[in-house]
Structure 1
Amino acid sequence: MSHTLSTSVSSELEIRKSRFIAHAIPVADRDAAMAELRRLREENPTATHVCWALLAGGQSGMSDDGEPSGTAGRPILEVLRHHDLDGVLAAVVRYYGGVKLGAGGLVRAYTDAIARVLQDAPRVERIAQALLTVEIGYADEARVRRWIEQEGYALADSGYQMAVRLTISMPVTAVDAARDALRDMTQGRAVFAEEI
């Protein structure tokens, strides 16, 4: 069972006059991670490097952002994997302090910075999400939308043609019960994507 973070955490490490500010941020996907990276760059316009790694639902990525190849992004990614985290962007903002650390020193610095921020980070189980697409009549739409809200699900997409087509994001474990509930509340008129 993989975990994600319930909230963003950050901590700072100073190594030979360089400041390493580590951030671990829960994100839904790569797009959300890129938006967080833009924000970090805007908040730290004078930083020398913003190195990062991402694990989010099968999407991974990393960047050394100008540090020698393999000294920042890869070590950060390894720490994320070691902690069995998913849906997390780990980024380290570095302010260079004038003392070169060498490749080994950099790997250690980036590893330590991220390991430290994750040490006490609040974790939650990452629940796999599924998309359920249902076609219903216009008369049933308000009732179904209320149900989606009450259950705490997210409406991922909607379309209107002869019928209303709603795509609902929910935990994988809830799909079967959701199908039954939708059939019940529409007196069997709900049609699911695999049946359309």
Structure 2
Amino acid sequence: MSTSLETLAAPFRHEEDIKKSRFLTQAAPVATPAEALAFFQAVGDPAATHNCWAYRIGDAYRFNDDGEPGGTAGRPILAAIDGQGCDRVAVVVTRWYGGIKLGAGGLARAYGGGAAECLRLAPRLPIVAIGRLALRVEFADLALVTARIRELEGTIEEETFVTDGADLVVAAPVDRLEGITARIIDATRGRTKPRPSA
């Protein structure tokens, strides 16, 4: 797999006919295995011959041949996801049988090729690694610190008020954390020192 992975910007569809069988590939960005399974349930056609699928979310992945010969559908779809450098993606390929058998190699090419083409054509977004910082800010510095965090693409995920200020958890792209830390220390003249948070 490539080092800079991408997910889909939005759900996408790709359709093709191969030897009278119709293949409809549908792909979507997903954050959890449950979301992937719900997507398959929502878009699969119960009237179709097969609804074969795969998903990858980080180290979690699954695939299903839905009645096609073992290894001819789900695994090639997963291979297409990985080959296209995608993550957090679910792909279902629905087949309506047209009367001509494709054979194991033909099936693997049809399912894997359809999935790869769908992902290749779909609008994609880079997956950005997010890190977190925890910090305690005095009330006098809160507005200034909040402004600095937002300037550097950070978001405040948690804000808990305490007697002398607020405890914040800040999320931001990993490559911005060092800059946010330096900006906050500078803006508060060293009174606030962010630390990495889980």
TM bucket normalised to smaller = 0.7 to 0.9
- Counterpart CA distance in 1 for 2:168 and 2:66 is 41
Cα distance change of structure 1 residues 13 and 137 upon mapping to structure 2, 3 Å threshold: same
- Partner AA of 1:63 in structure 2: N
The offset of 1:192, in angstroms, is: 3.6
In the alignment, which residue of structure 1 is the partner of 2:15? Answer: 12
Cα distance change of structure 1 residues 59 and 153 upon mapping to structure 2, 3 Å threshold: farther
- Counterpart CA distance in 2 for 1:194 and 1:119 is 37
- Number of residue pairs aligned between Structure 1 and Structure 2: 191
**Whose Rg is larger?**
2
Unaligned runs of 5+ in 1: none
Q: Is the 8 A contact 1:51 1:64 kept in 2?
A: yes
The aligned runs of 1:98-177 (5 Å cut-off) are: 98-127=99-128, 129-137=129-137, 139=139, 144-145=145-146, 147-155=148-156, 157-158=157-158, 160=160, 162=162, 164-177=166-179
In the alignment, which residue of structure 2 is the partner of 1:2? Answer: 4
Cα distance change of structure 1 residues 190 and 113 upon mapping to structure 2, 3 Å threshold: same
Unaligned runs of 5+ in 2: none
Q: Is the 8 A contact 1:9 1:23 kept in 2?
A: yes
Alignment partner of 1:78 is 2:79: yes
Cα distance change of structure 1 residues 98 and 191 upon mapping to structure 2, 3 Å threshold: farther
In the alignment, which residue of structure 1 is the partner of 2:91? Answer: 90
In the alignment, which residue of structure 2 is the partner of 1:179? Answer: 181
CA RMSD of aligned residues (A): 3.2
In the alignment, which residue of structure 2 is the partner of 1:33? Answer: 36
Structure 1 SS opposite 2:66: coil
Structure 1 stretch 166-175 or stretch 179-188: which is displaced more?
A: 179-188
- Counterpart CA distance in 2 for 1:79 and 1:68 is 18
Q: Is the 8 A contact 1:158 1:164 kept in 2?
A: no
- Counterpart CA distance in 1 for 2:179 and 2:4 is 24
Percent identity of the aligned residues?
A: 36
TM-score (norm 1): 0.74
TM-score (norm 2): 0.73
- Partner AA of 1:22 in structure 2: T
